[in-house]
Structure 1
Amino acid sequence: MKCVLTVVGKDRVGIIYEVTKVLAKERINVLDISQTIVSGYFTMIMITDLSGCDKTIEEIREELNVLGTKIGMEVRIQHEDIFNAMHTIG
Structure 2
Amino acid sequence: MKCIITVLGTDKVGIIAKVCNYLAEVNINILDISQTIVGGYFNMMMIVDATNSTQPLEIFSDKLETIGKELGVTITVQHEDIFNCMHRI
Q: 5+ residue gaps in structure 2?
A: none
Moved over 6 A (4+): none
Counting only pairs closer than 5 Å after superposition, residues 1-90 of structure 1 correspond to structure 2 as 1-89=1-89
TM-score when normalising by structure 2? 0.96
Q: 5+ residue gaps in structure 1?
A: none
Return the alpha-carbon distance in structure 2 between the equivalents of residues 47 and 61 of structure 1.
14
Return the alpha-carbon distance in structure 2 between the equivalents of residues 86 and 9 of structure 1.
22
Return the alpha-carbon distance in structure 2 between the equivalents of residues 38 and 85 of structure 1.
28
Task: Give the % identical residues.
Answer: 51
TM-score when normalising by structure 1? 0.95
Aligned residues: 89
Provide the aligned C-alpha RMSD in A: 0.7
AA partner of residue 38 (structure 2): V
AA partner of residue 40 (structure 1): G
